[in-house]
Amino acid sequence: MNVQLVNSLVEVVLNLSPEEQKLFLEKLNNQHLTLRTSKPQTSEERLLLWQEWIDTAPKSYANLSDEVLRRENIYDDEV
């Protein structure tokens, strides 16, 4: 076990901003999930992994108004 490397990684992560730490943890969790899903699994195990992924997926509340989504507002009139 490489304790020195682990300690160095911990130090680097602790020096990240809170936003960077959050991104790091999200990527680490996604990588962990990817490694776990690379093995053949039963349908129950796949369902559990899917539910875990849903719980860890980024939550986006960036809703667009109906006005922004209108066709005439999506495309330029300069054709």
Tell me whether residue 76 is in a domain. no
The tally of domains found in the chain comes to 1
Rounded mean pLDDT of 24-33?
A: 78
* N-to-C CA span, the chain: 63
Residues contacting residue 16 through CB under 8 Å, at least 6 positions apart: 24
- pLDDT at position 50, please? 84
Q: In the predicted model, is pLDDT for residue 15 greater than 90?
A: yes
Tell me whether residue 78 is in a domain. no
Tell me whether residue 64 is in a domain. no
Tell me whether residue 47 is in a domain. yes
Tell me whether residue 10 is in a domain. yes
Count of C-beta atoms within a 10 Å radius of residue 8: 11
Determine the structural domain holding residue 31 and report its residue range: 3-58
